[in-house]
Each structure stands twice: as structure tokens, then as C-alpha cells.
């Protein structure tokens, strides 16, 4: 990539600022676009269930699903809900909770300033009452139940549950119908006051907006608080998976499978994430002999895929798909990985996968993705260019090293079978 | 959307290339789309063609060879698609590829991907003069699996079933990939024969979006189509769906936790005034400030999702919801009540303005995404109406309260479809 300067894709107009409030602010002006997307996120997700701050004597463990519950509740204040305010400007608002972050976002094409004010206020002004917390329980219960019927979701969570004994990544992000019964307004405030501290948060804005105006609004509305020094306990995790195989029956036409490998959380997770993807793509992806043999035999189809599920404190290389014969696919995957561990992969095929991964990470012309990726990169202590740069600089040895990290006996196979 | 960036040209009988040059993007998107009326006799045959063509060509004879070259071109993709839009089946290939300037080994990615696309479509890998039987058999099985796997996504499945019932006997009731029995009957010979018919008779739209100069794409496809004996059929249009005399009420069972309720409304409203009906549907359940979200979900806590969407071609409004089994009747009543509120004018001017603003945001933002620009171009071509999103915003803005009431009032319940748990599990 000698002639390439990824860092120039925004013409040097991007800014990353550590604001006096403690918040990290990323600004990506893309004036030639019509819309603006803003993400205001906290480094707080479903895995952060046991924690303390410097004000606490001891750790507290909160019910599973509380980060997601909190996300639902923040849209409401004492006068109205934030959706009503956004509706007056025409902005589209949403939020999401993942294993390790929660983010609130809007997309708009007008009244940027007003929308940013709504966003900053809604996240900084919690309003929880016994009544409004109770009202949300029904909606979240329906959300959980909807995903209980979804084989793609279940095969994923069952696999995570089979891999980890103690890591909270083993539990659904939304928790369970039972666990959310324990959530009340006091617990919500406790979690809010711990994690919704600006020192723990990132505001990322991309698109057609005035950066100076954005910063002026931030100066006005971001509330400085002392850093509570959050200490999240990541439970000790045995080396071996909890269960090697989990099978569930659901309404589906043919079996779904996910094979997840347990490995210790890597020192450089961002780099290993890309290197693992390259190695798995080379060994098992659609350019490999393996893939094409099984595809041509009708054993796998276009749903077959490889990748890595990662977050703070967990890192799981996975192989998944829909197949009539998940046991055979698993046996074939394990045999192929054992073979390439012994015989290696060709330099040419790894170089092809490096180019492919670089092409996939090169995504700076989509306003929403830029805002989102800008935030996510900060949560990992990186910047928005890091992934593409790392991908382009990876070597054959980097990819081969990942094979060494893979313990082929330490996996969980999750299968969803048709129930009739 | 800047119409100055848009060009459209006929390159053969029934074949047009439309280009939207936009230097903001770092990738190029090229789509070659064939269209046909949805007809059970041909739906499966049409659907298998792009699946077969996207796997190889005469230069890259196997899927592995083709995938290898695409990966070397920075994760460029040649993908097949089959879509149903009203009564129409649209199918073909599309590609995404990184702009040449970001290729660190200096490849001419655009020219190569265009050539590969051409070869896939016009110079496929053949055995004994037809598609290889093994490839056809494999794609048949994949199509049957995709059809069967429709049940995995219960929300989508319920909506699909409801629409199949609502549009019974109309082309739109035909499944996108056809029925499994029809797929099973496909042979390598019948697929190849259909492929030739498609090349010769179906209308073709080539749509390019991105920063490049697409002269090379035009040249490549003009030459390719000049070798085909083109005799294109007239263009097909989606017909409005007729309203049943009696509401179809269908309940199906599945082993599930959450029931799905889908209500299909149809209207005999003036088809030219579809924006009135679209706005009425949006106010009912188009976004988070709509009646279905604020009342049925938020106030009554009846469901996690409850929304409505308007199908312009069929002139039908589809309400989708996920509901606890015990609350199905309550949800049905609540949804109907919210529509009644609209038709009785029980909404404020502010409610109307919110919906217009929200639609304006969607329309303005469609300029920012390659997929939505491509969709906008397809819509313009299909409707033969090159109204820009900005002009559409003005049209919505002019819709009056009385027109929304009239459009809502014209909505007649046609189909109620429920997917619910089996009795023993309730």
C-alpha cells in the first residue's frame, strides 16, 4: 500500500477531541452528503454485570439484561419521550445495546443543532419511576420472546452459553424473561450513575454538519462529572468450554449450526480479529478447496460463513451456517483446520484474503458507518482508520500465528434442529 | 439528488443503461436487472438463472476460480438477486467493487469486474452446450432450501403468508423463487433454454452508481447485446389488488413463543393519488411517532413491534405485529381503532407535519447511499417518472388533512392472518 494514504479520505477535516467534560468527541464532516448521523455511546453493555466505582466498598452484581432495559428507559423523561421531540424535527432516532456498549443515535437532514441537543439531553437526563419501569417490562418481554423464536439468534447465544462458564457473554444481551423481573428503578439509577459518566462515553458525528456548532452545543450541554473509576469484574474463566455440544429444537426447516472455539482473550484483540478472519477465510472461506468441495457436494450453501465474535473480555472464532448435516460439516471443519495447522496455508491464498479483508474494512463513504465505526474504534482505543490500515499491513505470519492459537479440542457446537 | 449526474441511454432493443456519477463514493455498483411478470410457470426457471450465472463463466470455470479472482480484487462481489415487487419478478446480477484509486496494487478493478459480469451473463461455462447438470442440480437444492427456510424469520414469514392470501390468484401471490415442485422439475436443458429466452426477450436495465466514468461498462454491454437476437416483450406493470367481498381470516399454527398478527387493507382510492394513502399509512404505523407505535406498543404495551407499510403497486397497506397469544384479539381491535381514528380525522396538524418531516428525512437521505440511489433509479424507470426525492418532498408537503382522511377511509380490511402457537403449548 505504498501509494495509499487512507488517512486522507476525509481531506484532513476529521477531529477527535477529549472534551473538558471527559467525553471523547469524534467529528467527521462530510459536507457533500445530505444527512448527518450522530452516535452517543457508553462503554457499557450486557457483560458489565459486576462492578464497583471508587465510591463503592464492594462489587455489586446486577440482573442480566439491565443495560438493555436502561437503553429502553432513557428515551423517556418527565415530560415526554425523546421520540416525540425528534418527531418535531423529522429526525429518525434509535438505540442499541451490545455485549459491551450501548449507543443512542439519530439521523437527520435538517435541524442538526436541535437534534444534537435532544440527543445529549436524553442520555444525560434519566427519569425512572416505578410506573414507567413496570410499563417497559411487557414490551421487553415481547422483544425477548420474539428472539426466542428466531433460530439464527438461538444458535448464536446457545453457542456462547456453551463456551463460557462464567463470562456474562454467555447470556442474551436482553437478559431473560425471568432476569428482567428483578430490575427496578433503583438498580437502573445505580447502573446509570456508574456507566453513563462522560469519561466513559463517546460522541461520534458524521455527515453534513458544522463541527464548531457541534462543539459549542457540547460545551453547553455536556455535564462534567468526576471520573468514578469504574472497575468491572470479568469473572475468571476456565480454559475449557462449558459444554461441547448444545442442541435445541425450534420451528425451522433445516438445521442451523455454529461452531465456536474458546481461546483466551488476546493481548491485541483488534489485530487478532482481522488476522483470524484472514486465516479462517483462507482455510474455509469461499476461495478455499474445502468450501468448494463441500459446496459442490451440496453439504454447505451460501449461508456458510466464518468470523470472530468479540467484545470486551471475550473472543470467539466461529464457523456457522445452515446445513442438512451439521455433524458432518463440523467433522470436516475440524479435520481441515487440523490439516492446515500441520501443512500450513499458501502465501498466495493468504495474500488474497488480506486484500479481501482490506476491501471489506475500507468503508468511509457511508455517513452512518463512519459515525458508528468512529465510536466503536474509540471504545477499543483505536481510531477509524486503524482497521483498514491494520488489514493492509498484515502478513502471512500474522495469519499463520492464529492457527497456533486455535485449540481444536476446545469448541462448542450449537445446533438448532427442526422440531418436527 | 442531482439530476445532472444522471444519464440514461438505450443500448439495444429493450436494454438501457442508467448511470449516476457520484464522486462521493469509494466503490462502484453495477446492476444488470431482467424483469418479468410473476408467473408460476416461469418463476422458478427465471430464478435459477442468476444463481447459475453468478458461479462461473468461460474464463473462470469454477466457483472457486471466480471467487479467488473476486477476492483478489479487494472483496469485489458478483452477486445474484431475485426480488418480487408487486406483480413483477426482477432478477439478475450486481457487483460492488473498490475504486481503482484505492487498489494498492494498481489494478483496473472497474474494467475487470465489468468484463467478469459480462462473461458471467453472456459467456457462461457450459458442458455439451448447456449449463452443467451438477451446477443446476445444486442450485435447485439451494433454492428449495431457501424456500423452506422462509419459516426461520417468523415476522417476514407471517407477512409473506398474509400477502400470498391477500393477493390470491394475482401474479403477486407467486413465490419469489416459485414453488418447490416447480423447482424440482428444472433440468439443465430447460434452464439453458429459458436463459436464451431471457436474453432475447426480457427487458434489461443496467444501473451504475459511483464515482467512475461508466463508458467502459456501456461499451462492454453494448457489444455483448449486439450479438443477441433481441425481441423484447412489452413492459409489465403491477395491477391494483381487488378487494375481497368477505374478509379472509386465516390462522396457522407453529411451535412459537410469540404470535404474529398481519392485517392487510386494500383501497379503491385514485391510484394517481397514492401519496395520500402512503402518508395515511405512515401516520398509522410508519415510524415511532405513529399511532401504532405510540398507542399500541408504548401505551398499551401490546407488542414489541407494530407497524404499517404501503405497497404502492398493489395499493395495499400491510400492518405487521408481534403479539402475546392472549392479546391477539386486543391487538386486532386496537389496530383497527387507530385506523378508525385516522379516518375520523382524530389527529392533529402536528401529527401530519411530523409524518411529512419524517418522510422528507428518508427521501433526502436516499441521496447518501449507493443502494438507495440505485433503488431510486429503478423506481423512476419502472414508473417512468423521474421526480427527484426533493420534488417528492414537495408533493407530500401539499397533501391535506382531508386527503389523508379520505385515503384512510378508503382502506378496507381484506385479510387477517395469524401465526400462533399450537394449542398444547398455549
Q: List, for residues B77-125, the tens digit of each pLDDT value.
A: 899 999 999 999 999 999 999 888 887 777 889 999 999 999 999 999 9
Does pLDDT of B286 surpass 80?
yes
Burial class (CB within 10 angstroms; exposed 0-12, middle 13-18, buried 19+) of B379: middle
- Number of A/B CB contacts below 8 angstroms equals 185
Quote the percentage of chain A above a pLDDT of 90: 88
Q: Could A355 and B74 be called an inter-chain contact, meaning their C-beta atoms sit closer than 8 Å? A: yes
Contact B301/A362, CB-based, under 8 Å?
no
Please, what is the Cα angle at A387 between A262 and A395, to 5 degrees? 75
Whether residue B180 lies within 8 A of chain A, CB to CB, comes out as no
Residue B425 has pLDDT above 70, yes or no: no
* Nearest chain A alpha carbon to B151: A252
A93–B62: do the CB atoms touch at under 8 Å?
no
Contact B304 A358 (CB under 8 A): no
Does A352 lie at the interface with B, CB-CB under 8 angstroms? yes
**In angstroms, rounded to a whole number, what is the distance separating the alpha carbons of residues A315 and B75?**
24
Check whether A9 has a pLDDT greater than 90: no
Report chain A residues whose CB lies below 8 A from the CB of B358.
Answer: 87, 90, 92
Q: Say if the Cβ atoms of A357 and B153 lie within 8 Å.
A: no
Q: B145, A138: Cβ pair inside 8 Å?
A: no
Contacts of B322 in chain A (CB under 8 A): 142, 145-146
Q: How far is CA A93 from CA A74, A87, A90, A238, A308, in A?
A: 12, 9, 9, 41, 29
The reply to whether residue B322 touches residue A420, judged by beta carbons under 8 angstroms, is no
Q: What mean pLDDT comes out for the span B196-213?
A: 97
Give, in order, the Cα–Cα distances in Å from A392 to each of A382, B32, B307: 16, 31, 43
In chain A, ranges of CATH 3.30.830.10 domains = 7-232, 245-418
The three grid cell numbers given for residue B147, joined into one nine-digit string: 424456500
* B8 grid coordinates: 440514461
Chain B residues whose CB is inside 8 A of the A288 CB are 64
Q: What is the DSSP letter of B105?
A: T
Instruction: Name residue B208's beta-bridge partners.
Output: B19, B30
Q: Do A152 and B26 touch (CB under 8 A)?
A: no
> What is d(CA B145, CA A371) in angstroms, rounded to the nearest whole number?
37
Q: Does residue B345 register a pLDDT over 90?
A: yes
Q: Is A418 on the interface with B (CB under 8 A)?
A: no
Mean pLDDT to the nearest integer, A221-228: 89
pLDDT at A358: 85
- pLDDT above 70 as % of chain A: 99
Looking at chain A from residue 154 to 193, which residues have their Cβ under 8 Å from any Cβ of chain B? Answer: none
- Give the integer Cα–Cα distance in Å for B263 and B392: 28
pLDDT in tens, A228-266: 999 999 999 999 999 999 999 999 999 999 999 999 999
Closest CA in chain A for residue B80: A302
Instruction: Among B258, B297, B364, select the one facing A34 at the smallest CB separation.
Output: B364
pLDDT confidence tier of residue A3, bands split at 50, 70 and 90: very low
d(C-alpha B337, C-alpha B342), whole Å: 9
The cell 448447456 sits on which residue? Answer: B130
All three cell numbers of A155, joined, read 444458535
Residue B285: its pLDDT value, please? Answer: 97
The torsion angle over the Cα atoms of residues B285, B287, B291 and B292, rounded to 10 degrees, is 50
Select the residue of B148, B294, B305 nearest A253 (Cβ to Cβ). B148
Give A372's contacts in chain B (Cβ within 8 Å).
Answer: none
Q: Of residues A314 and A82, which shows the higher confidence score?
A: A314
Q: Which three cell numbers stand for residue B92?
A: 439478475
The mean pLDDT of A293-304, rounded to a whole number, is: 96
Set out the domains of chain B in order of their start, with CATH numbers.
3-226 (3.30.830.10), 248-425 (3.30.830.10)
pLDDT at B301: 86
The C-alpha angle with vertex A121 and arms to A376 and A61, in degrees rounded to 5, equals: 60
Gyration radius from chain B CA atoms: 23
Distance (Å, rounded) from C-alpha B221 to C-alpha A68?
51
Question: Cβ separation of A252 and B151 shorter than 8 Å?
Answer: yes
Q: Does the beta carbon of B369 lie under 8 angstroms from any beta carbon of chain A? A: yes
pLDDT at B11 over 60: yes
Active site residues of A: 71
Contact between B26 and B33 under an 8 Å Cβ cutoff? The reply is no
The gap between the terminal CA atoms of chain A, to the nearest Å, is: 54
A333-383 pLDDT tens trace: 999 999 999 999 999 999 989 988 888 888 899 999 999 999 999 999 999
By CB atoms closer than 10 A (0-12, 13-18, 19+), residue A239 is: exposed
Looking at residue B348, what DSSP letter applies? Answer: -
Cβ neighbours for A26, distance < 8 A, ≥ 6 positions apart: A14, A15, A16, A17, A202, A203, A204, A205, A374, A375, A378, A384
Indicate the fold that domain A245-418 takes in CATH. Answer: Cytochrome Bc1 Complex; Chain A, domain 1 (3.30.830)
C-alpha dist (Å) from residue B369 to B20, B342, B363: 12, 33, 11
Q: Is A16 on the interface with B (CB under 8 A)?
A: no
Segments in A321-366 forming alpha helices (H): 326-343, 347-361
- ipTM of predicted assembly, 2 dp: 0.88
Which of B366, B375, B369, B81 has the alpha carbon at shortest distance from B207? B375
Handedness of CA B188, B194, B196, B199 (dihedral sign): negative
Helical pair B349-365 and B401-409, crossing angle rounded to 10 deg: 90
Residue A110 contacts B where some CB pair is shorter than 8 Å: yes
- From chain A residues 286-315, the ones with a CB under 8 A of any chain B CB are 286-289, 291-292, 295-296, 298, 301-302
Chain A environment of B148 (Cβ under 8 Å)? 253-254
**Stronger pLDDT, A242 or A393, i.e. the higher one:** A242
pLDDT greater than 60 at residue A93: yes
Cell of A115: 437534534
Chain B within 8 Å of A331 (Cβ-Cβ)?
Answer: no
Q: Cell 396538524 belongs to which residue?
A: B349
Mean pLDDT of A42-48: 97
pLDDT digits (tens, 9 = 90+) for A146-180: 999 999 999 999 999 999 999 999 999 999 999 99
User: Residue A15's beta-bridge partner residues?
Assistant: A27
Name the percent of chain B lying above pLDDT 70.
Answer: 99
Cα(A248)–Cα(A115) distance, rounded to whole angstroms?
44
What would the grid cell of residue A366 be? Answer: 457511508
- Confidence grade of residue B171 (pLDDT, cut at 50, 70, 90): very high
How many whole angstroms separate alpha carbon B289 and alpha carbon B303? 16
Q: Is the Cα dihedral A274, A279, A283, A288 positive or negative?
A: positive
Q: What's the CATH class of domain A7-232?
A: alpha beta
- Residue A367 forms contact with B (CB below 8 Å): yes
Cα–Cα nearest to B221, from B6, B3, B9, B4: B9
Residue A8's pLDDT is what?
A: 84
Residue B241 scores a pLDDT above 90 = yes
Distance from the Cα of A292 to chain B's closest Cα (Å) equals 6
**What pLDDT is attached to residue B426?**
40
CB contact under 8 A, B289 and A286: no
Residue indicated by cell numbers 423484447: B232
Minimal-distance CA residue of chain A relative to B324: A142
Amino acid at each position: 500500500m505504498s501509494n495509499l494514504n487512507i488517512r486522507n479520505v476525509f481531506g484532513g477535516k476529521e477531529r477527535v477531541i477529549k472534551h473538558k467534560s471527559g467525553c471523547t468527541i469524534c467529528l467527521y464532516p462530510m459536507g457533500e452528503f445530505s444527512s448527518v448521523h450522530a452516535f452517543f455511546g457508553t462503554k457499557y453493555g450486557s457483560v458489565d454485570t459486576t462492578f464497583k466505582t471508587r465510591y463503592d466498598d464492594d462489587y455489586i452484581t446486577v440482573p442480566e439484561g439491565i443495560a438493555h432495559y436502561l437503553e429502553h428507559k432513557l428515551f423517556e423523561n418527565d415530560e415526554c419521550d425523546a421520540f416525540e421531540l425528534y418527531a418535531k424535527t423529522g429526525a429518525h432516532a434509535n438505540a442499541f445495546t451490545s455485549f459491551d456498549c450501548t449507543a443512542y443515535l439519530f439521523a437527520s437532514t435538517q435541524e442538526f443543532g436541535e437534534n444534537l441537543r435532544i440527543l445529549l439531553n436524553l442520555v444525560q437526563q434519566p427519569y425512572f419511576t416505578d410506573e414507567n419501569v413496570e410499563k417497559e417490562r411487557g414490551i421487553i418481554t415481547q422483544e425477548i420472546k420474539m428472539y426466542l423464536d428466531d433460530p439464527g439468534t438461538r444458535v448464536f447465544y446457545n453457542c456462547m452459553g456453551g463456551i463460557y462458564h462464567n463470562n456474562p457473554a454467555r447470556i442474551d444481551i436482553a437478559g431473560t424473561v425471568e432476569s428482567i423481573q428483578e430490575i427496578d428503578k433503583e438498580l437502573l439509577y445505580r447502573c446509570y450513575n456508574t456507566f453513563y459518566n462522560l469519561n466513559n462515553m463517546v460522541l461520534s458525528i458524521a455527515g453534513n454538519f458544522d463541527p464548531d456548532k457541534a462543539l459549542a452545543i457540547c460545551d453547553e450541554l455536556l455535564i462534567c462529572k468526576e471520573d468514578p473509576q469504574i472497575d468491572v469484574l470479568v469473572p475468571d474463566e476456565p480454559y475449557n468450554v462449558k459444554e461441547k455440544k448444545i442442541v435445541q429444537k425450534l420451528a425451522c426447516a433445516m438445521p442451523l449450526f455454529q461452531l465456536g472455539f474458546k481461546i483466551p482473550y488476546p493481548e491485541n484483540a483488534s489485530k487478532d480479529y482481522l488476522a483470524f478472519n484472514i486465516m479462517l477465510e483462507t482455510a474455509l472461506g469461499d476461495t478455499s478447496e474445502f468450501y468448494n468441495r463441500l459446496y459442490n457436494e451440496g453439504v454447505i450453501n451460501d449461508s456458510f460463513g466464518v468470523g470472530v465474535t468479540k467484545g470486551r473480555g471475550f473472543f470467539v472464532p466461529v464457523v456457522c451456517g445452515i446445513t442438512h448435516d451439521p455433524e458432518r460439516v463440523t467433522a470436516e471443519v475440524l479435520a481441515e483446520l487440523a490439516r492446515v495447522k500441520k501443512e500450513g496455508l499458501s502465501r498466495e491464498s493468504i495474500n488474497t484474503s488480506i486484500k479481501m479483508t482490506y476491501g471489506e474494512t475500507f468503508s468511509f463513504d457511508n455517513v452512518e458507518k463512519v459515525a458508528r465505526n468512529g465510536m466503536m474504534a474509540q471504545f477499543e482505543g483505536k481510531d477509524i482508520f486503524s482497521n483498514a490500515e491494520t488489514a493492509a499491513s498484515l502478513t502471512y505470519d500474522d495469519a499463520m500465528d492464529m492457527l497456533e492459537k486455535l485449540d481444536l479440542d476446545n469448541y462448542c457446537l450449537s445446533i438448532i434442529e427442526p422440531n418436527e | 439528488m442531482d439530476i445532472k449526474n444522471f444519464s440514461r441511454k438505450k443500448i439495444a432493443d429493450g436494454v438501457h443503461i442508467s448511470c449516476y456519477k457520484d464522486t462521493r463514493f469509494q466503490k462502484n455498483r453495477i446492476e444488470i436487472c431482467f424483469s418479468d411478470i410473476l408467473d408460476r410457470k416461469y418463476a422458478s426457471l427465471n430464478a435459477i438463472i442468476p444463481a447459475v450465472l453468478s458461479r462461473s463463466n468461460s474464463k473462470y470455470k469454477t466457483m472457486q476460480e471466480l471467487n479467488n479472482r473476486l477476492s483478489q480484487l479487494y472483496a469485489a462481489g458478483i452477486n445474484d438477486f431475485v426480488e418480487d415487487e408487486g406483480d413483477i419478478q426482477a432478477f439478475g446480477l450486481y457487483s460492488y467493487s473498490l475504486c481503482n484509486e484505492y487498489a494498492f496494487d494498481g489494478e483496473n478493478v472497474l474494467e475487470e469486474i465489468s468484463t467478469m459480469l459480462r462473461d458471467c451473463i453472456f459467456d457462461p461455462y457450459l458442458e455439451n452446450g448447456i449449463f452443467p447438470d451438477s451446477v443446476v442440480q445444486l442450485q435447485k437444492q439451494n433454492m428449495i432450501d431457501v424456500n423452506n427456510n422462509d419459516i426461520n424469520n417468523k415476522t417476514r414469514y407471517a407477512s409473506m403468508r398474509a400477502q400470498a392470501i391477500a393477493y390470491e390468484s394475482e401474479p403477486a401471490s407467486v413465490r419469489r423463487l416459485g414453488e418447490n415442485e416447480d423447482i424440482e422439475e428444472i433440468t439443465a436443458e430447460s434452464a439453458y433454454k429459458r436463459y436464451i429466452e431471457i436474453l432475447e426477450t426480457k427487458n434489461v436495465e443496467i444501473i451504475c452508481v459511483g464515482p467512475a466514468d461508466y463508458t467502459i461498462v456501456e461499451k462492454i454491454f453494448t457489444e455483448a447485446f449486439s450479438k443477441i437476437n433481441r425481441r423484447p416483450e412489452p413492459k409489465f406493470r403491477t395491477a391494483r389488488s381487488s378487494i375481497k367481498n368477505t374478509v379472509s381470516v386465516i390462522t396457522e399454527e407453529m411451535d412459537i413463543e410469540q404470535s404474529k398478527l398481519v392485517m392487510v387493507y386494500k383501497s379503491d382510492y385514485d391510484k394517481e393519488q397514492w401519496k395520500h394513502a402512503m402518508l395515511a399509512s405512515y401516520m398509522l404505523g410508519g415510524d415511532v411517532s405513529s399511532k401504532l407505535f405510540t398507542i399500541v406498543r408504548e401505551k398499551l404495551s401490546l407488542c414489541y413491534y407494530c407497524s404499517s407499510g404501503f405497497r404502492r403497486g398493489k395499493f395495499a397497506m400491510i400492518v405487521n405485529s408481534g403479539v402475546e397469544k392472549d392479546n391477539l384479539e386486543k391487538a386486532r381491535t386496537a389496530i383497527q381503532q387507530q385506523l378508525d381514528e385516522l379516518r375520523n380525522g382524530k389527529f392533529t396538524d402536528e401529527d401530519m407535519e411530523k409524518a411529512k418531516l419524517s418522510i422528507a428525512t428518508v427521501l433526502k437521505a436516499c441521496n447518501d447511499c449507493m443502494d438507495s440511489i440505485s433503488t431510486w433509479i429503478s423506481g423512476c424507470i419502472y414508473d417512468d417518472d423521474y421526480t427527484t426525492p426533493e420534488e417528492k418532498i414537495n408533493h407530500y408537503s401539499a397533501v391535506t388533512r382531508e386527503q389523508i382522511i379520505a385515503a384512510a377511509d378508503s382502506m378496507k380490511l381484506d385479510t387477517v392472518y395469524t401465526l400462533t402457537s399450537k394449542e398444547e403449548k398455549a
